[in-house]
Amino acid sequence: MAKLWSFCKRFYLAILLVFIYLPILMLMIFSFNEGKSMTKWTGFTFDWYEKLFTNPLILESIWVTLSIAVISSLVATVVGTLAAIGINDFKKWKKNMVLNLTQIPMMNADIVTGISLLLFFIFTKIPRGYVTMLISHIVFNIPYVIFSVMPRLKGMDKNLYEAALDMGATPAYAIRKVIVPQLMPGIVSGFIMAFTMSFDDFVISFFSSQGVVSNLSIYIYSMAKVGINPEINALSTIMFLCVITLLIVINVRAERQQAERNGKIPAKTPKTKRAR
């Protein structure tokens, strides 16, 4: 009886995993399909992988997605970390107010954030395009960095910074050499979150660029109406394999670090991605 029950539990988890992975498996399998159909298998081919790297539209959108993700998350990490350090020293009511305002882009529906930015760009007559998309990504990335750095600051000894100043360090030097190293885990997880949010975003990019430039999501969305190109399947297969490799590397590293400092308190797990 107990055995049957334990089998049922595993079976349930397995079914859910199948449910989650079925479409991904589909994409992978049909990236090797000779025909363009996503439903009928006609033969094996590597063609789509070759074509992928010669399709200028896809390459362009990959470039847009990657460059915006890298630039926006780097800018957000620097600005957000400095902001967190500053905000932490604010008086209580001021701190609360700033943090509440910071929450806005996280809590608001993406579509509202996107529209508010679009209105702003129209109002200020900034031409829509790459730059406005980049600005918007920085806007929604900074809060993730701030909220993953803040908890680290709370547990930090304030006197260390003062001590550094007393010993003749300039504030910038003290930040770099004393505060930042202690905040590193929070900064890194903030960066990773910002990067994934930016990489995956559709709605805010769509509105803020008004379709002038396409990132990958916008490209896929416009394709989906007419039928997706198998090249996209090939691309998603490559991307998925990259993500898996990356995660395995990170996990193996984390485990090794864990083993090294065994006995100490384990690092705080990074927060999750937000729903879209």
Partner 1 sequence: MNKKKAFAVPYIVWMIIFTVVPLFLILFYAFIHRTDSGSLVFTTEYIKSALSGSSMSVLILSLEYALITTVICLVLAYPAALFLWQLKSRIGSIVNLLFMLPMWMNFLLRTYAWRALLDANVPINQFLQWLGLPAMQLLYTEGAVIFGLVYNFLPFMLLPIYTAFTKIDRSYIQAAEDLGANKWQTLTHVILPLTKPGIITGITMVFMPAVTSFVISRLLGGSQTMMFDDLLENQFMLLKDWNTGSALAVIMMVLMLISMALVRKTDDDSMPGGGI
Among positions 186-225, residues that touch partner 1 (CB under 8 A) are 196, 200, 202-203, 207, 216-217, 220-221, 224
Q: Are 22 and 10 in contact (CB under 8 A)?
A: no
Q: Which of 71, 74, 115, 238 binds partner 1 (CB under 8 A)?
A: 115
CB of 186 to partner 1, least distance (A): 15
SS3 221: helix
In the chain, where do the E strands start and end?
Answer: none
19 belongs to the binding site for partner 1 (CB under 8 A): yes
175: Cβ contacts below 8 Å, ≥ 6 apart: 82, 85, 161
In 10 A of CB 236, how many CB atoms? Answer: 17
- Which stretch, 53-61, 66-74, 111-119, 181-189, contacts partner 1 (CB under 8 A)? 111-119
Q: 130: buried, middle or exposed (CB in 10 Å: 19+, 13-18, 0-12)?
A: middle
> Considering beta carbons, is residue 86 or 127 the nearer one to partner 1?
86
Q: Which of 52, 62, 118, 133 binds partner 1 (CB under 8 A)?
A: 118
Beta bridge partners of 33: 44
Q: Which of 160, 239, 252, 267 binds partner 1 (CB under 8 A)?
A: 239
Supply the DSSP symbol for 270.
Answer: P
48: Cβ contacts below 8 Å, ≥ 6 apart: 31, 32, 230, 231, 233, 234
Q: Which of 22, 57, 160, 267 binds partner 1 (CB under 8 A)?
A: 22
262 belongs to the binding site for partner 1 (CB under 8 A): no
Q: Which of 61, 110, 137, 213 binds partner 1 (CB under 8 A)?
A: 110
Q: Which long-range contacts (CB under 8 A, 24 or more apart) does 66-72 make?
A: 66/199, 68/130, 68/133, 68/134, 68/137, 68/198, 68/205, 68/215, 69/137, 69/195, 69/198, 69/199, 70/195, 71/134, 72/134, 72/137, 72/138, 72/141, 72/194, 72/198
Q: Which of 45, 55, 108, 182 binds partner 1 (CB under 8 A)?
A: 108
> Considering beta carbons, is residue 14 or 261 the nearer one to partner 1?
14
131 belongs to the binding site for partner 1 (CB under 8 A): no
Binding mask 68-87 for partner 1 (x = CB under 8 A): -----------xx-xx-xxx
57 belongs to the binding site for partner 1 (CB under 8 A): no
24 belongs to the binding site for partner 1 (CB under 8 A): yes
CB of 5 to partner 1, least distance (A): 10
Q: Are 204 and 117 in contact (CB under 8 A)?
A: yes
Binding mask 151-170 for partner 1 (x = CB under 8 A): ----------xx--x-----
104 belongs to the binding site for partner 1 (CB under 8 A): yes
- By CB under 8 A, what part of segment 31-50 binds partner 1? 38-39
CB of 56 to partner 1, least distance (A): 20
142 belongs to the binding site for partner 1 (CB under 8 A): yes
In 10 A of CB 66, how many CB atoms? Answer: 15
